[in-house]
Amino acid sequence: MFGPKRQCVVVVGAQWGDEGKGKIVDVIAERADLVVRYQGGANAGHTVVKGDEEFILHQIPSGILHEGTRCLIGNGVVLDPETMLREMEELAARGVSIDGRFRISDRAHLVLPYHKLLDQASERQQKIGTTGRGIGPAYEDKIGRRGIRVGDLRNIDRACHLVVERTARANRVLAMLEVEERASEAEHVALVERLAPRLLPLTVDAGRTTWDALRAGQRVLLEGAQGALLDVDHGTYPYVTSSNTTAGGAAVGAGIGPTAIDVVLGVVKAYTTRVGNGPLPTEADEARGEQLRTLGAEFGATTGRPRRCGWFDAVVVRYAARVNGLTHLAVTKLDVLDTLAEIPVCTGYRVGGAPSDDVPADADALGCVEPVYEVLEGWQRPTQGARRLADLPPQARAYLDRLQDLAETPIAYVSVGTRRDQIIGM
Ligand code: IMP
Ligand code: MG
C-alpha cells in the first residue's frame, strides 16, 4: 500500500464493522512507522493472528503486534483506560514489548464506569444493541462539553472535582431512566487518582506526533474501527455507533488535515454481517444465515453475540466507496464461501417496484428495500492456500471481478484465512 506518493493510508470498514480490518491493518502495519487509531473506543474488537496465537484488541491499535511500529491513540478516540491497561499487561505477558512505542493523545476523552452504566440503562429504553462499553454516553459528554480528557489528569485536584460532579450528574440521569444502579463518587475519585500516574507518562499531542512523522517522510497508517454503515452521520441512524467511522473522521480524529491522506482502503467481507439491531437488506434466511455464521465463525469479538449474516450488498459498498472516497478495496474471508455451490450477490435494490441505488436516510425505509440478486457460481474448492490471484479457481476470480465491478473500486488485497500469510496482493 505504501509507496512514493502513498505515505498516509487510512483503513476503514465499508460495511457494518467486523470486516477483518484488524488483519489487514496488521499486514500493512508491517511496513508502517506509525499506526494511529482515530475514533471509537473499546467497542471495537480486532482479531489478529500472530503465528499460532490469537490476539483480540479492543483499545490498543492492532499495529502494536509489529515490534518496529509505533502506535498512537488519537484525539478522536474515547479511551477506556482500564481496558487499555489490561491489554498492555496482556501484551507484555505474551511477550510483545510495547515500551516506548505506544502513546495516547492528551485530547482523547476518557470512558469512565458511569458511562457504561448510562449505556446499559439507555439500552433498556432504546434498543440499539450497543456493546455496552459506554461509547454513546462518552461521546455525548464530549459534544456536550462535559467530558474528561486524558490531559485533564495533569491537574489531579481539578480532575477529582470534575469526576465527582460528573458522577453526581450521571446518577441523576440514571434516576431519571428509572434504573436502580448508581455510580460511586469515591470509586471514581480513586480510579482517577490511580490512572493519572499510569496514563500521563504516555500522553502526547497526537496530531503533532502524526504530523512530525509525515514531515519526516515516515509511513503512517490510520486505523479505523467499525464500518461506514455504523457512522453516526452516514450509517443506519439511529442504529449506529456514536462516531464518524468514515475516512473524513480519520483526519479529525488523528489531528491532521484531509490533504495529508493519500490512500483510503475500504475493507469488505466477501459477504455481509451485522451485529446489533437495525436494517440489513441482504440478511440470509435462517438456514443459510446459520451456515455462513458457522463457516465464518461469526460471533462478536467484543460481546460474543452471534452476528447476523447475509450476502454481499453492492449498493452498500458503492455507498461506502462514495462517502469514504475509497481508492482501493480489500476483500476478506473469501475462503468462507469455499463450499457453497451458488453465491447470491445483491446488485441493486427495488423500491415500490422501481430500481434504486440509494441508501435511504431512514432506517425503516432501508429495512423495506427489496434486494435484487445475481447468483454466481461457487468454486467448491479450498482457497486458503492461495497466495497469488492465479492460484484461485476461475469461479473465485470471476466472483472477485464481479465485486470489483459492482463496487466501482479496484481490489488491492484478498484475504483467504486468518493467518498473516493468507493474503493475496493484486
Ligand atoms: P456502540 O458502539 O457500543 O454504541 O454500539 C452501537 C452499534 O454499533 C451496535 O449495533 C453495535 O453492535 C455496533 N458496533 C459497535 N462497535 C462495533 C464493532 O467493532 N464491530 C461491529 N459492530 C459494532
Ligand atoms: Mg470487530
Instruction: Tell me if 129 CB under 6 Å of ligand 1.
Output: yes
C-alpha cell at 304: 460474543
The pLDDT of residue 221 is above 90: yes
> For residue 7, what are the CA distances in angstroms to 3, 214, 304?
6, 7, 36
Burial pattern 33-55, b for ≥16 Cβ within 10 A else e, equals bbbbbbbbbbbbbbbbbeeeeeb
Query: Mean per-residue pLDDT for 200-229?
Result: 98
Task: Give dist(CA 48, CA 301) in Å, integer.
Answer: 11
Residue 389 has a CB neighbour count (10 Å cut-off) of 14
Ligand 1 centroid – CA 42 distance (Å): 10
Instruction: Tell me if 243 CB under 6 Å of ligand 1.
Output: no
Task: Give dist(CA 48, CA 26) in Å, integer.
Answer: 7
The pLDDT of residue 24 is above 90: yes
Ligand nearest to the CA of 17: 1
Alpha helix ranges (H) inside 181-313 = 185-199, 206-215, 247-254, 286-296
Ligand 1 centroid – CA 121 distance (Å): 16
Ligand 2 centroid – CA 22 distance (Å): 8
User: Nearest to residue 187, comparing CAs of 170, 202, 199?
Assistant: 170
**pLDDT score of 75:** 98
Ligand nearest to the CA of 133: 1
- Ligand 1 pocket test, pick from 130, 133, 243, 245 with the greatest ligand atom count within 8 Å of Cβ, gives 130
Q: Which atom of ligand 1 is nearest to the CA of 13?
A: 20
pLDDT in tens, 83-135: 999 999 999 999 999 999 999 999 999 999 999 999 999 999 999 999 999 99
Sheet strands (E) in 106-158: 109-110
Query: Mean per-residue pLDDT for 150-167?
Result: 98
The pLDDT of residue 255 is above 90: yes
405 membership: H or E segment, kind and range: helix 394-407
Asked whether the whole model's pTM tops 0.95, one would answer: yes
Instruction: Tell me if 289 CB under 6 Å of ligand 1.
Output: no
Q: Which amino acid is at 397?
A: R
**pLDDT score of 302:** 86
Q: Identify the residue whose C-alpha is closest to ligand 1 atom 12.
A: 276
The neighbouring-strand residues paired with 375 are 344
- What's the mean pLDDT when you consider all of the chain? 97
Task: Give dist(CA 130, CA 194) in Å, integer.
Answer: 28
Task: Give dist(CA 383, CA 391) in Å, integer.
Answer: 8
pLDDT in tens, 40-66: 999 998 888 888 899 999 999 999 999
Q: Return the active site residues.
A: 18, 46
The pLDDT of residue 27 is above 90: yes
Cis peptide before 238 (omega within 30 of 0): yes
**pLDDT score of 365:** 98
Query: Mean per-residue pLDDT for 80-84?
Result: 97
Ligand 2 centroid – CA 46 distance (Å): 5
Ligand 2 centroid – CA 280 distance (Å): 17
pLDDT in tens, 297-347: 999 988 899 999 999 999 999 999 999 999 999 999 999 999 999 999 999
The pLDDT of residue 35 is above 90: yes
Instruction: Tell me if 120 CB under 6 Å of ligand 1.
Output: no
Cis peptide before 355 (omega within 30 of 0): no
**pLDDT score of 284:** 98
Ligand nearest to the CA of 131: 1
**pLDDT score of 214:** 97
User: Nearest to residue 73, comparing CAs of 205, 189, 232?
Assistant: 205
**pLDDT score of 403:** 98
Q: Identify the residue whose C-alpha is closest to ligand 1 atom 11.
A: 130
**pLDDT score of 51:** 86
Residue 294 has a CB neighbour count (10 Å cut-off) of 11
**pLDDT score of 301:** 86
Q: Which atom of ligand 1 is nearest to the CA of 275?
A: 12
Instruction: Tell me if 128 CB under 6 Å of ligand 1.
Output: yes
Q: How confident is the model at residue 176 (pLDDT cuts 50, 70, 90)?
A: very high
**Percent of the chain residues topping a pLDDT of 70:** 100
pLDDT in tens, 259-275: 999 999 999 999 999 99
